[in-house]
Chain A
């Protein structure tokens, strides 16, 4: 479950960077709301594995196993929303499967994921089918983030890339049907992109380095800076409680 916890933490952090910057007051609320939900998922998952703060604040870049998609910088609102579209569709489908396998957190979180996906879909439609400028920005975001989506469908769990049995817990994620997940995700996302009058990219989905790199602790450059900011205060006061 560690990769899923890292996904949620890192994306939550990125969304938190929007506070005070959103294009409209309603989105200040929505983005903070989604960030909080994700932080809640991360905390619940970390707590199953050990101490949440130790896992979040005291691991270095190479030990983080989030996918590269979630660590991508916010960019403009279109880039943030397309990143949300890709990730929230994935998270909802994955958690739905995990819930069916009996994971208690996934059962609780799936409703939140549905809201996140719904929010991202609405914005994809508005931006894609809004003005010429918003269409161009949404298309640019889609094209540039597409390569990071392949990583989402690599099997997680002890058998997956970089899997470590002690941190992955019982082989629950191992029972996920990843091919079905990829098919549903592709249907869902391409359906929304089509409806938003955006062109579905036909380029590779292999990410930076290679597909699965983030899951093995191989990240993109901005990620280290993000972690430095996130961990600085905690690391400056070893052993302190807050």
Chain B
């Protein structure tokens, strides 16, 4: 979409209507909106909110899995888990950068996370109690995330869509690894099998809640779909996820904790039991099992890191005025950390 803002000599009167018309027709034609394009304020705000929440979820989501890095039962699994948590930090970076194209900053968004003004996915307020939870998170939580996120690869906002393409590739990989972890447990000793079943029992319903409230209670859904930020409704995606999971659970040799689960010939979908929306509301309101720990831990990391960020900024400022490189010139260009470290 070309920017109507740049049209020199355009009439000032009526330009707002022209801009809106150009935006609407770009959306209707399935064109991508780019950072320099005009966009309605509410579209911008909705995207900032959604992308920030998404980025925060990646960052908070590191915690339940990092909980098991130091206890992973084999070196292979430990390497896989470390790589995954590293990927999540990377996803957080992509998403904060994408959100920054809308005129906000990572610092501002982190402030909002730390002060509770912006949310993260409710799923990360559940604890990882056993090693099998790492597998259940990979299979179910990443599986639900992918079901949600693949349609965002076609989102109307270009930077978000492009970030999601990269993220979804890595997420699918994590999801397969989670499945494979659970399979190893399910086919392992009796204790390992029980551990896997217990994890699936605890993560199944919270994973279904990841798709958000039912369609008739979803406040922003219709508008987001109109803007092509969302492509499918919460209930549609939730159904798609259940349909994918049922045969996978069978392949795993594990059951899903829902007595109402049954194949519906007529709909050609799996019927499933009612979700405990009261629990969902409680978790969203901050009363889940780990809300307090997750946010405290994040704040603590940020506060304890303040002196490091200040040091990096002070050093960069000094370096801008005089040469501080070691005498032998051993510092090479393109240092990964230096390029992007910023003060608070």
Band of interface residues on A: 35 or more
Closest B residue to A15 by CB, please name it.
B82
Q: Is the CB of A242 within 8 A of B77?
A: yes
Interface residue? A174 (CB, 8 A): no
Residue from A21, A53, A127, A229 having most chain B Cβ neighbours under 10 A:
A21
Tell me if B337 is interfacial: C-beta within 8 Å of chain A.
yes
Of A129, A191, A241, which is within 8 A of B327 by CB? A191
What is the distance, in angstroms, from A193's C-beta to the closest C-beta of chain B?
10
User: A20, A33, A35: which contacts B297 (Cβ < 8 A)?
Assistant: A20
Q: Judging by beta carbons under 8 Å apart, are A121 and B330 in contact?
A: yes
Enumerate chain B residues within 8 angstroms of A9, measured Cβ to Cβ: 75
Answer yes or no: A28 CB below 8 A from chain B CBs: yes
Query: Once the chains bind, are B71 and A134 in contact (CB under 8 Å)?
Result: no
Complex Cα gap A56–B59 (Å): 30
Interface stretch of the complex, out of A59-67, A214-222, A232-240: A232-240
The contact string, 1 if C-beta is below 8 Å from chain B, for chain A 115-153, is: 100110111011101110110010000000000000000
* Cα(A13)–Cα(B66), bound, Å: 12
State the interface size on chain B (CB cutoff 8 A).
66
Q: Say yes or no: B331 contacts A129, CB within 8 Å.
A: no
In contact, B86 and A241 (Cβ under 8 angstroms): no
B328 touches A191 (CB 8 A): yes
Q: Counting CB contacts under 8 A, is B11 at the interface?
A: no
B312→A118 contact, CB < 8 A: no
In chain B, residues 48-83, which have Cβ atoms closer than 8 Å to a Cβ of chain A? 59, 62-63, 66, 69-79, 82-83
Given contacts A20-B63, A26-B340, A26-B341, contact A131 B311 (CB under 8 A): yes
| CB of A40 within 8 Å of the partner chain | yes
> For window 4-36 of chain A, which residues contact chain B by CB distance below 8 Å?
9, 13, 16-17, 19-30, 32-33, 35-36
Contact of B192 among A30, A42, A229, A240 (CB under 8 A): A240
Contact at B308–A134, with CB atoms within 8 Å?
yes
Give CA–CA (A161, B85) in the complex, Å.
Answer: 38
Which residues in A have their C-beta under 8 angstroms from that of B181?
Answer: 242
* Given contact pairs A23-B301, A56-B75, A191-B328, A16 touches B70 in the complex (Cβ within 8 A): yes
A211: which B residues are within 8 A, CB to CB?
A: none
Is A134 touching B85 in the complex (CB atoms < 8 A)? no
CA distance A25 to B308 in the complex (A): 12
Does the CB pair B75–A24 fall under 8 Å?
no
CA distance A5 to B68 in the complex (A): 22
Is A43 located at the chain interface by the 8 A CB criterion?
yes
Q: Is the pair B62, A129 in contact by a Cβ cutoff of 8 Å?
A: no
Please give me the residue from chain B that is nearest to A187 by CB atom.
B328
Residue A242 contacts which of B73, B86, B337, B338 (CB distance < 8 angstroms)?
Answer: B73
Indicate whether B335 reaches chain A with its CB closer than 8 angstroms: yes
Given contacts A23-B301, A53-B74, contact A30 B310 (CB under 8 A): no
Does A192 make an interface contact (CB < 8 A)?
A: yes
Contact A237 B191, beta carbon cutoff 8 Å: yes
Q: Cβ of B267: which chain A residues have Cβ within 8 Å of it? A: none
Determine the distance from Cα of A106 to Cα of B184 in the docked complex, in whole angstroms: 33
In the assembled complex, how far is the CB of residue B240 from the closest CB belonging to chain A, in whole angstroms? 31
Query: Nearest A residue to B334 by beta-carbon distance?
Result: A118
The answer to whether the Cβ of A180 comes within 8 Å of any Cβ in the partner chain is: no
State whether the Cβ of B116 lies closer than 8 Å to any Cβ in chain A.
no
A230 at the A/B interface (Cβ < 8 Å)? yes
Q: From A17, A22, A42, A237, give the contact of B73 (CB < 8 A).
A: A237
Q: In the bound complex, what is the Cα–Cα distance between A33 and B89 (angstroms)?
A: 11
Taken residue by residue from 305 to 323, chain B's Cβ proximity to chain A (1 for < 8 Å, 0 otherwise) reads as 1111111111110100000
Residue of B89, B300, B326, B338 near A25 (CB, 8 A) is B89
Q: Which residues of A contact B192 (CB under 8 A)?
A: 237, 240
When distances are taken between beta carbons in the complex, the residues of chain B under 8 Å from A23 are: 301-302, 304-306, 308-309
Is the Cβ of B82 less than 8 Å from the Cβ of A39? yes
Given A21-B297, A26-B336, A131-B310: 8 more A-B contacts, CB < 8 Å: A25-B92, A25-B106, A26-B337, A125-B331, A130-B312, A234-B74, A237-B189, A240-B73
Closest 9 CB pairs of A and B: A23-B305, A130-B311, A134-B311, A32-B86, A19-B66, A23-B308, A28-B89, A195-B326, A126-B315
A-B contact pairs, 13 of them (CB 8 A): A19-B85, A23-B309, A24-B342, A27-B337, A30-B336, A122-B338, A127-B315, A130-B313, A195-B326, A195-B327, A240-B73, A242-B131, A242-B184
Residue ranges of A at the interface with B (Cβ–Cβ < 8 Å): 9, 13, 16-17, 19-30, 32-33, 35-36, 39-40, 42-43, 46, 52-53, 56-57, 76-77, 115, 118-119, 121-123, 125-127, 129-131, 133-134, 137, 188, 191-192, 195, 229-230, 232-234, 237, 240-242
